[in-house]
Structure 1
Amino acid sequence: MIEIENIVKTFRDATAVDHVTLTIEPHTICALVGTSGSGKTTLLRMINRLVQPTSGSIRVDGQDVMSVPAYALRRKMGYVIQGHGLFPHWTIAQNVGTVPGLLGWDRAKIDRRVDELLDLFQLDPATYRDRMPAQLSGGQRQRVGVARALAAEPNILLMDEPFGALDPVTRGRAQEELRAIQARFGTTIVLVTHDMDEAILLGHRIAVMDKGRLLQCAPPAEIIARPATDFVRELVGTTDRAFRLLSLSTIGDHIEQGEASGDPLDANMTLRGAYSELLWSGRKAAPVVRDGVRVGIVSLDGLGQLAAHP
């Protein structure tokens, strides 16, 4: 658990974080959202003491972070930044094994962990472990950056706009990978993003910040349906609210009966994804399968009704 209590951070005469109190539950993803200069990155960096708070306290599992040497604290947390931050003259294996090496793991254990993580991110160890970062695509480098952050099996992963530099297709895949990995390991993730769609997709809770203050912290459905302030309402977008609610449910939650032809859609696809797919393909309906078995259909009319009456 991460407990942030009445945190203030001032730089000269400016207040970057203004009396923020926030609790992040274990094994969840908390997305910090806001415009540039809202204080979200400063708040994130205070968790691992890259920035020192002016006042207030931050506790991790009940222990004040200021009572732990900064280097020891950081080795217990993964940290991922936009643009991956890999060491360019080290191999992929050396990059991923950085923190385990600092912690004194033996070579055989480090090698096993490197291969395990490369496999997890669908990067064949025999092919990629001895390559240099410059030999990888942008998406591959970002995946290696996340693998490096997870190498020492941290309970907490801090992520500062990790997917901002990726193209939309690669970014979508990276987001899905992160969801799957978080569900598998139960890692507590604090994610900074300016993209509300990303926050809704990934966050169990979304914390909206503006001018250093925390305006609202709630599950995505509550943020969308009941924004606490005009700023939160504007960030969500009045015209997109209904369709963002569709991104919180899967086709399998709203199976319809009827006939439809063409390529089937998987029951785990979001309703918003199904709506986009039907519009793109020009179909009024599509069959739905779960584990390869046809279970019903999804239709534009049905999705339209859900959007109109969320």
Structure 2
Amino acid sequence: MIAIEHLTKRIGETTLVDDVSMVVDTGTITVVVGTSGAGKSTLLRMINRLITPTSGRVLIDGQDTMDIPEDRLRHRIGYVIQGNGLFPHRTVAGNIATVPRLLGWDQKRIRRRVEELLDLFQLDPAEFANKFPRHLSGGQQQRVGVARALAAEPRLLLMDEPFGALDPIIRGKAQADLIAIQRRFGTTIVLVTHDMEEAFHLGDRIAVMNDAQLLQYDTPAQLLTRPAAGFVERLVGSSDRPFRLLSLAKVRDAMEPGDAPGEPIDPDVNLRDALSRLIWAGADRLPVAHGNDTATAHISVSGILSHGRPPQ
């Protein structure tokens, strides 16, 4: 667990972060959003002491980060930035092995970890281990950057606009990879972005910042149904809020008993995509089934719209 208590950063007369307090639960993804200059990246960098706070403190599992030697603190926290920051003169394997080598891991353990991570990110070790970053696509570089951050098995991963430079298709795959990795390892993740769609897709909780202050820290559903008046309300939008609500729920949350004709929809598809499928098929209902299973339930347009209606 990360406890951020009254964290403030001032440089001269300028306040970069103003009295921010929040708790990040272990094994969750927290996304920090806001406009440029809101204080998002400064907040993130104060967690691993790349920036020293003017006042306040950060506790990781109850321990004040100021009481932990800087090198030891950063070796136990993975850090990913936009553009990956890969060392151009090191191979993929060399990049991933950076922190384990600093920690004194033996070569056999390092090699095993590198191969495990490359396999995990669907990068064949035989093909990619000895390549240099310049030989990789943007999406491949991104995966190597995350693999490097995870190499020493950190319990905490900090990510600063990690997918901002990727095109939409590669970005979607990178986000899916991150969710799968987080579920597999139970890593606690704090991710900064300015993209609200990304925040709603990834976040268990979302922290909205503006003018150096934390305005609201809540679940995606609470942000959509009960946004704080003013900036937060404008940020989450109003006209498309019901559709964003639909993206937070799965077909399994709104399916009804009984079969229906047509191509089955997987129960793990989100309701916004399911509604698109129904509209595209010109159907008011479609069967729900996983893989080759026999459908015993269906999803309907009326059921989806009812599920996505905000509470009064």
Q: For 2:303, give the aligned amino acid.
A: G
Distance 1:150 1:91, change over 3 A: same
Match of 1:159 in 2: 159
Match of 1:303 in 2: 304
Distance 1:85 1:252, change over 3 A: same
CA distance in 1, matches of 2:25, 2:262: 44
In the TM superposition, 1:226-241 aligns within 5 A as 226-241=226-241
CA distance in 2, matches of 1:245, 1:22: 24
Scaled by the length of structure 2, what TM-score is found? 0.94
Q: For 1:153, give the aligned amino acid.
A: E
Any unmatched runs of 5+ in structure 2? none
**Aligned 8 A contact 2:259 2:296 in 1:** no
Cα distance, 1:286 vs. partner? 3.3
Q: For 1:52, give the aligned amino acid.
A: T
**1:23-51 deviation digits (Å, cap 9, x = unpaired):** 11111111111111110110000000111
CA distance in 2, matches of 1:172, 1:260: 30
| Counterpart check, 1:260 vs 2:261 | yes
Match of 1:3 in 2: 3
Cα distance, 1:291 vs. partner? 4.2
**1:118-172 deviation digits (Å, cap 9, x = unpaired):** 1111111111111111111111110110000000000100000111111111111
Match of 2:107 in 1: 107
CA distance in 2, matches of 1:307, 1:5: 35
Cα distance, 1:74 vs. partner? 0.7
CA distance in 2, matches of 1:94, 1:41: 27
Q: For 1:245, give the aligned amino acid.
A: L
Match of 1:171 in 2: 171
SS in structure 2 at match of 1:290? coil
SS in structure 2 at match of 1:177? helix
**1:66-89 deviation digits (Å, cap 9, x = unpaired):** 122212211110000111111111
Any unmatched runs of 5+ in structure 1? none
Q: For 1:234, give the aligned amino acid.
A: R
SS in structure 2 at match of 1:265? coil
Corresponding pairs, count? 309
**Aligned 8 A contact 1:38 1:209 in 2:** yes
User: 4+ residue stretches of structure 1 with deviation over 6 A?
Assistant: none
Q: For 1:297, give the aligned amino acid.
A: H
CA distance in 2, matches of 1:119, 1:157: 20
Cα distance, 1:307 vs. partner? 3.1
Scaled by the length of structure 1, what TM-score is found? 0.95
Cα distance, 1:180 vs. partner? 1.3
- Of the structure 1 ranges 172-181 and 97-106, higher mean CA displacement relative to structure 2 is found in 172-181
